[in-house]
Amino acid sequence: MSESRLLDGKVAVISGAASPRGIGMATARMFAKHGARIAIFDLDLSAARDAAASIGPEHRGYVCDVTSREACEAAAQQVVADFGAIDVLINNAGITQAARLLDIDSASWDRVLDVNLRGVLNLSQAVVPQMKKQQGGAIACMSSVSAQRGGGILGGPHYSAAKAGVLGLAKAMARELGNDGIRVNCVTPGLIQTDINAGKISDDKRGEILAGIPLNRLGVPDDVAGAFLFLSAPISSYITGAVIDVNGGMLIHG
């Protein structure tokens, strides 16, 4: 018996999905296996195109810096021209920066907030009109355990603030867009092994982190991709405004 395809015929936009070992790329691969056609948005056009081509010829890459509303609008319009629809949006693009409170200057604050939080607003604003036309859609946004526990692993307070902002923005979008059949949810991953943290964790720190993870391993990109798949597919059709932890039990709520 063949595995069921949870996103058959759907068109999915995934931001920040050109990094080969990243969560966005893993999500693109998993979604493609489940029958979706993927529009990969990232900073570099050729990297985005190469990433899309590595999954299969029916997928496409687009240049889109999510900090620019114009870039988001142009890329979303091009996806509609190319594929005829947008059914799923994964707001995944993000950056982090290790900094202590007193070391956060204005430029760092702006950069971290712009990519992680304003980027979610920009890309959602670019895609939602098309979803409204289609009378439905699923949006899933990338937050972090950092938003819930106040950082403490790699990102500084500005990263925690940005990712906490994503939770509020997504919940407000869920409330506003429900009547249009558009669901909006978030994931809050713990420590996932990707290029964002590669080489930045000493063996001691790693041991310390593992001691606090009941599942006793760090996460891998597919762990998060699976949560995005669930939130994007019709099997989660009555779930909106929710937050799914993908953290191996690092943070278990009371």
Ligand X SMILES: NC(=O)c1ccc[n+]([C@@H]2O[C@H](COP(=O)([O-])OP(=O)(O)OC[C@H]3O[C@@H](n4cnc5c(N)ncnc54)[C@H](O)[C@@H]3O)[C@@H](O)[C@H]2O)c1
Q: How far is the CB of 70 from ligand X (least distance, A)?
A: 13
Active-site position among 62, 83, 159, 228: 159
Q: How far is the CB of 15 from ligand X (least distance, A)?
A: 5
Closest residue to ligand X in the complex (CB): 94
Interface residues with ligand X (CB under 6 A) are 15-16, 18-19, 22-24, 42-43, 64-67, 92-96, 115, 119, 142, 144, 189, 191-192, 194-197
What letters, b where the CB count within 10 A reaches 16 and e where it falls short, cover 53-73?
eebeeebbbbbbbbbeeebbb
Q: What CA–CA distance (Å, rounded) separates 195 from 17? A: 12
CA 75, 185, 44 angle in degrees (round to 5)?
Answer: 30
* Active site (annotated) includes residue 159: yes
Reported as type and span, the H/E element at residue 208 is: helix 203-211
Q: How far is the CB of 180 from ligand X (least distance, A)?
A: 25
- What tokens appear for 209 in the block? 């982190």
**Residue 194 or 240: which CB sits closer to ligand X?**
194
Q: What CA–CA distance (Å, rounded) separates 134 from 174? A: 17
Residue 5 φ/ψ region, left for φ over 0, alpha for ψ in the -120 to 50 degree band, beta for the rest: beta
Q: How far is the CB of 18 from ligand X (least distance, A)?
A: 5
Are β-strands 60-63 and 37-42 bridged in parallel, bridged antiparallel, or unpaired? parallel
Active-site positions? 159
